């Protein structure tokens, strides 16, 4: 159905922008992905994805070959031709917990200064409630004017250009981004006019996914409320897990018992070393900040943040009590990324714990199937302060002769390690597992001194 196909430009080729662009092309739209980084554009043209994400490269290559997907650093030509421009640039957290909106503002200004026809601007990036009102105002402010009247871009158009901003938050998780987009549970759109709503409805029609159509501010809030609820769920389980340890209950049995209740649900009940990634930590702090700005104390979300902060170093503290010092000890670290299936390290438990270990003089041997190159940018191999870090290619190399092991990420190959392997390879079979990967009894029987979360 040709009528439904749109010319779409996407600003930003990170997780949000690139995956959205590729999936729009996959359902038949014509998409131009814009990124100011020329090297990145060349890389994508050659079929290489700048991010590690299952199925993404394959769909990039397929849709590029079909002529539905283009990449450019020339934003002007891309925006000028677009019926809709999706913004998927970053909104990083600032020290006070607020979001840095400068990338969004930059794109909004570029859009205002280039478009020559009606255009719907759709913000996919996670932005504080109310931001899209301001983005719309900002674009209108920057549309070229003469004596207060819009004049367009010197091409005789402009006066009657219609530009509106819609909110369309993204719910994909890293590692399953393509599947989460093509088979999303719901699509949320926030618009202030029928015109904008219709365009988004038509763009999403080929996806065949339920659409929740609400006002712009509600759409913005749905994103935060969803992420913060999931963060809360994790922090709640971690809180209960810590209590389980004190009263000799087993969090895994407890969560299994809870999970049969459909009101609770079976997902996101895994206790562990705290949530990481680019979203939960940022979005909890941002909503808490928004509440504070409005004179309200968001107590539940605050509690989720507090629990998560202490959870990240809970195993380090436990190990510090068991060992006199980490100085000169060979410490095996299994898993660096914030979760499996991604090379992303943002807010990962490893980033919290490795500096603490190095500071005490640990000799770290770290294994991660994909996270090494990113991690070594922050912590180059070799001596680091009092300690040292070495990135190894196998689990065996990490464990051999180690005095203690920390598990931070539940990669498949780490999950599959048999308890005997710890016992045989390590100098002292002492394991601190932040992901509850092994049976307590199995480890005990194999002769491993084993500490996990809530068991
Ligand atoms: C999260 C949400 O799941 C997505 O729906 C959302 O779109 C995305 O943030 C975003 O805002 O962009 P993501 O950060 O990729 O996605 O990763 P998750 O799979 O949600 O995991 C987040 C963290 O929670 C990880 O560190 C993970 O280890 C931890 N987690 C998750 C637990 O500790 N326990 C659980 O039971 C589940």
pLDDT, tens digit (0-9, with 9 covering 90-100), for 116-143:
999 999 999 999 999 999 999 999 999 9
In this predicted structure, the answer to whether residue 147 has a pLDDT above a threshold of 60 is: no
Name 87's bridge partners.
11, 123
Which atom of ligand 1 is nearest to 273's Cα? 33
Residue of 439, 411, 442 whose CA lies nearest to 452: 439
Ordered by where they begin, the domains of the chain are 2-214 (3.40.50.720), 224-310 (1.10.1040.10), 312-451 (3.40.50.720)
CA-to-CA distance for 263 and 307, rounded, in angstroms?
A: 23
Which atom of ligand 1 is nearest to 234's Cα? 34
Find out whether 66 and 26 touch, Cβ atoms under 8 Å.
no
Averaged pLDDT for residues 319-340: 97
Residue 4's pLDDT band (cuts 50, 70, 90): low
DSSP 405: E
Q: How far apart are the first and last CA of the chain?
A: 56
Q: How many CB atoms lie within 10 A of CB 12?
A: 24
CA-to-CA distance for 304 and 229, rounded, in angstroms?
A: 9
pLDDT score at 155: 42
In this predicted structure, the answer to whether residue 153 has a pLDDT above a threshold of 90 is: no
Averaged pLDDT for residues 254-267: 97
Averaged pLDDT for residues 68-94: 95
In this predicted structure, the answer to whether residue 428 has a pLDDT above a threshold of 70 is: yes
Does ligand 1 come within 6 angstroms of the Cβ of 280? yes
Complex-level ipTM beyond the 0.85 threshold = yes
CA-to-CA distance for 302 and 299, rounded, in angstroms?
A: 5
In this predicted structure, the answer to whether residue 53 has a pLDDT above a threshold of 80 is: yes
Tell me the pLDDT tens digit for each residue of 335-361. Answer: 999 999 888 999 999 999 999 999 999
Residue minimizing CA distance to atom 8 of ligand 1 = 173
Tell me the pLDDT tens digit for each residue of 382-401. Answer: 999 999 999 999 999 999 99
> How far lies 112's CA from each of 26, 140, 247, in Å?
28, 7, 61
279 has catalytic annotation:
yes
pLDDT score at 217: 98
SS3 272: coil
Return the best residue to mutate from 339, 353, 371 for the ligand 1 pocket (most ligand atoms within 8 A of CB). Answer: 339
CA-to-CA distance for 42 and 46, rounded, in angstroms?
A: 6
| Pairing verdict, β 211-214 and 149-150 | unpaired
Residue 145's pLDDT band (cuts 50, 70, 90): low
Residue of 341, 321, 398 whose CA lies nearest to 366: 398
Tell me the pLDDT tens digit for each residue of 202-211. Answer: 999 999 999 9
> How far lies 52's CA from each of 58, 65, 119, 205, 346, in Å?
12, 21, 32, 28, 14
CA-to-CA distance for 179 and 417, rounded, in angstroms?
A: 28
Find out whether 234 and 265 touch, Cβ atoms under 8 Å.
no
Q: What percent of the chain has pLDDT over 70?
A: 96
pTM of the model: 0.92
Residue minimizing CA distance to atom 13 of ligand 1 = 173
The CA 360 to ligand 1 mean position distance, Å, reads: 31
Residue minimizing CA distance to atom 23 of ligand 1 = 275
Residue of 341, 254, 357 whose CA lies nearest to 349: 357
């Amino acid at each position: 159905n040709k009528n439904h196909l749109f010319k779409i430009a996407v600003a930003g080729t990170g997780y949000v922008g690139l995956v959205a662009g590729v999936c729009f092309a996959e359902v038949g739209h014509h998409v131009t992905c814009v990124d100011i980084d020329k090297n990145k554009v060349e890389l994508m043209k050659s079929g290489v994805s700048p991010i590690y994400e299952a199925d993404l490269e394959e769909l990039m290559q397929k849709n590029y070959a079909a002529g539905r997907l283009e990449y450019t650093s020339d934003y002007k030509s891309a925006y000028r031709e677009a019926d809709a421009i999706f913004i998927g640039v970053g909104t990083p957290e600032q020290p006070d917990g607020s979001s840095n909106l400068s990338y969004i503002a930059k794109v909004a200004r570029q859009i205002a200064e280039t478009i020559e026809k009606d255009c719907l601007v759709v913000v996919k990036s996670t932005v504080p409630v109310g931001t899209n009102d301001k983005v719309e105002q900002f674009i209108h402010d920057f549309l070229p004017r003469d004596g207060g009247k819009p004049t367009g871009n010197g091409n005789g158009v402009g006066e009657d250009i219609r530009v509106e901003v819609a909110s369309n938050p993204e719910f994909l998780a890293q590692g399953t981004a393509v599947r989460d987009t093509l088979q999303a549970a719901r699509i949320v759109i926030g618009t202030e006019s029928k015109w904008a709503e219709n365009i988004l409805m038509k763009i999403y029609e080929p996806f065949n996914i339920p659409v929740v159509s609400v006002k712009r501010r509600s759409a913005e809030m749905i994103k935060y409320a969803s992420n913060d609820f999931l963060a809360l769920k994790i922090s709640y389980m971690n809180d209960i897990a810590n209590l389980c340890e004190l009263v000799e209950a087993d969090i895994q049995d407890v969560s299994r018992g809870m999970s049969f209740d459909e009101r609770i649900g079976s997902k996101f009940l895994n206790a562990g070393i705290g949530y990481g990634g680019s979203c939960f930590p940022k979005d909890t702090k941002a909503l808490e900040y928004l509440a504070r700005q409005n004179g309200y104390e968001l107590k539940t979300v605050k509690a989720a943040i507090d629990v998560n902060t202490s959870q990240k170093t809970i195993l380090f503290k436990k190990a510090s009590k068991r060992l006199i010092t980490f100085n000169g000890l060979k410490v095996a670290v299994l898993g660096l990324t914030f979760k499996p299936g991604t090379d992303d390290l943002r807010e990962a438990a490893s980033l919290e714990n490795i500096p603490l270990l190095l500071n005490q003089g640990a000799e770290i041997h770290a294994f991660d199937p994909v996270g090494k190159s990113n991690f070594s940018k922050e912590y180059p191999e070799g001596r680091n302060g009092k300690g040292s870090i070495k990135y190894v290619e196998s689990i065996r190399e990490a464990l051999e002769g180690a005095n203690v092991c920390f598990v931070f990420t539940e990669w498949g190959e780490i999950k599959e390690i048999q308890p005997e392997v710890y016992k045989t390879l390590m100098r002292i079979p002492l394991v601190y597992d932040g992901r509850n990967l092994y049976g307590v009894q199995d480890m005990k029987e194999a002769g491993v001194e084993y500490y996990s979360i809530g068991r």
